[in-house]
Chains A and B, each alone.
Chain A
């Protein structure tokens, strides 16, 4: 109830008008010459003495009349009792209410014509806490992993306290669980054995909860044994299952360091979390400026990896953002990527320059040289420098990004340690093989570098009619850098014929086969070593064992491979939650870190390291762009995390039935339906008849009493 309505004030003034008139009339007194003033004064004196308490009674009556008039006016503007306090009726005895709420990210969704799910849950919780009596208990528990610790409230809860508690409920990333919180809730009842128990479960019951049902066979029996009334309330709108909701699961380039001008493919993984087809577009922004927009069509529940071509014209840090307009949670419809663009990648090539290597055609080194040759006046994104084992056997200069050992027959054992140190510091190392290569020397000399030991070539002789193709004709699970090469429009990697290749022994534990041939033989194997990457290409770069060099996809594959290998040369700019960000900074001093939620979270001091200023801090685990500012310089890094609850649809009818069976109570579609089914509390009956009755009674009493004075 409130008196703040302006009309209530007008009504109050109207109610006071008789008093004002009375006071004004009192000022207009008639003057009469009077002889019996002696008697009059005796009367007045006696009245003052004898009826002072009566005057107080009259004053109290009149004040009460005014108060009742004000209450009567306010009653007219009081919100509908049914909506003001929508809570089920309380049992007669003390009750312990277990209030389980879902504060996961999906609860931020706003269904059509309603407030957000969490807002509705908060309103229901507030109503429940407001009806709590002395002797009752309420325990608030979060269903979300990492949610607030359970809070138990005893006795009456004033509105300020309840509001303060509920204001702390904000949608947060995190999966929800039923099994653990329900067990915790039932255990809390042990402290109140004499109280009746009610368990309210406020959630949108997302579809991923379907798996949880199998973990709850114990609950219904346990709740029944304790006599718990279970009230699961589904706050999601079932009709929202067909509402457009495209979620960007991932945005990746495969590397945080790309050469300037190199055409690349940004891979967006998006999922249509609706039961209907979806036609929309994905917009790409670079440094806040629109870069491209691509229309996309999704089938119901389809997840797709969408290649988006991109190239960075200017060197330096860049921020790439992909966004879709039909995501129900705005945070899930936008993803960003921070990229460091370098003018050119410096590549050392250790090649076999002997004549034997060129027998039957060009040597691998020549193919490399031609692939990296500038086109017209456009400089190539990679700069090749032929070197020998001798040069590689020395500590490599810091400007070298990648070393390619291109089919050198004999391994130089002295180069192993410098190369290992180079890779450990973030350098890239690519081994390509050749028919004359001696695997024993490689296995022995580069055992610490090779992703897998080499055995023998697959075939004794190369037969043009005998070749293998890439497995499935595609590149998955290839690094995103190579994704578009398998697309028909972009290239023909799937058509490359592989006549021969080296077989590999069991790969090292930290190795991963990125590309396989049709007979499941590894073609490209990756090994992470320190901050650097090692790639092993089991075939040749030239045309000796495959046709890659003469296919359209040859050069792009080489560029992407070099780029992928060099990605360790830059400090990570796209982090996982909890990962430390280390960035070189041009100036010393303080650097501010602005979080995606707009909060200036951290102010860090740069540290000097080898004449370079470095910013080092752990950003808050909030997905999105974290902007660093300081000393006139600004950069952006991102924290990447897959959406925890991109699917905002509630469980299907079949799952809802299973869930109801497991919980021992039906899922109520919304809080009003639950209250209606349980019987609403009638704590707020209309008061105006009682107020009016009291007002009339008081008025009559006051009139009678004044006459008696």
Chain B
């Protein structure tokens, strides 16, 4: 895939109108549009607190002191830029060609769109390529050069290996210090509870986590006929089955899998979006981001 194919101009133009904000308090380097965990210099009053030695006297609330003879300091919201980690699943299963577009291509496009949009917001965007381990970790940064590097990785990284997002997340915890946003793109073909528990750990660390579960339509409907040997793209293992015979049961398993993912995400406050890999990925992502903005 070429750079130009990764983010076509129409999509790039659409990205200029997209906004992405963290839904938790984050820790950024620069001023930005996201509420920071720190108390800052903005005009948004946050709260009063007991004066402590060393506090800036400019923030001392003299009116309260006059009325109650107590020294309290006013605190204000801090707005900072955002560290966004694009955790992308590059396991073998993502290479399923699909009917119109592969999950991998869909993920690349979406990730590129988000990275581009975040870069325009002056937010910092990093990339974590995962399989059953972290294949590549690009620290969040801003600027065109970083964006170019990120795009290069998106284009060059190829899927291989098995899916184990949970394991990768545990590794991430040791490397990520600042509170940020994790946008996890994966087909989530692993134990849902394990996955959501791992993501929940991130969430408990104070990160904002969004899980995009991607799947192909074939993977949801099993539209094949006749006896079929299913070769696992991750392990190469062959599984023989009559799709006609197992279709209904397979659909039920899919539903249950999604339901468990949804339940796990709900438990930990993780935003969960099942996504079908479709060619109009830009519209899908724009719709998602707008909905995110509309939600309280």
Contact = CB atoms under 8 A, between A and B. Distances in A.
Given A38-B190, A40-B250, A32 B245 contact: no
Contact of A46 (B92, B190, B253): B253
Contact of B187 (A29, A35, A42, A46): A35
Interface string B228-241: 11111111011111
Interface in A383-413: none
B253 A34 contact: no
Contacts of B240: 29
A164 interface: no
B224 A36 contact: no
Determine chain A's interface SS by DSSP, over half rule: helix
A41 B241 CA distance: 10
B229 A35 contact: no
Interface string A9-45: 0000000000000000110111111111111111110
A31 B93 contact: no
B227 A36 contact: no
A5 interface: no
A47 interface: yes
The interface size bin for chain A is: 20 to 34
A37 B229 contact: no
A706 interface: yes
A30 B241 contact: no
B272 interface: no
Interface in B57-105: 92-97, 103
A465 interface: no
A706 B244 CA distance: 10
A112 interface: no
A160 interface: no
B249 interface: yes
Contacts of B254: 36, 39
Contacts of A47: 246, 249
B237 A37 contact: yes
A26 B227 contact: yes
A41 B230 CA distance: 10
B166 to A, nearest CB: 14
Contacts of A149: none
Contacts of B232: 34, 37
Contacts of A26: 227
A30 B226 contact: yes
Contacts of A31: 228-231, 238
Determine chain B's interface SS by DSSP, over half rule: mixed
A4 interface: no
A40 B239 contact: yes
Given A39-B253, A40-B250, A43-B246, A33 B233 contact: yes
A709 interface: yes
Contacts of B235: 37
> Which of A25, A26, A37, A44 counts the most B-chain CB atoms under 10 A from its CB?
A37
A268 B271 CA distance: 124
Contacts of B226: 25, 29-30
A36 B224 CA distance: 14
B67 to A, nearest CB: 65
Nearest to B230: A34
Contacts of B257: 39, 42
B224 A30 contact: yes
B227 A29 contact: yes
A32 B230 contact: yes
Given A31-B238, A41-B239, A36 B219 contact: yes
Contacts of A42: 253, 257
B190 A39 contact: no
List the 7 shortest-distance A-B pairs measured between CB atoms, nearest first.
A35-B96, A35-B93, A37-B232, A38-B189, A34-B230, A36-B219, A31-B229
13 contacts: A26-B227, A29-B228, A30-B226, A34-B232, A35-B187, A36-B96, A36-B219, A37-B93, A38-B93, A39-B219, A46-B253, A706-B245, A709-B249
Given A38-B163, A43-B246, 7 more contacts: A26-B227, A35-B94, A35-B219, A36-B219, A37-B93, A39-B189, A709-B245
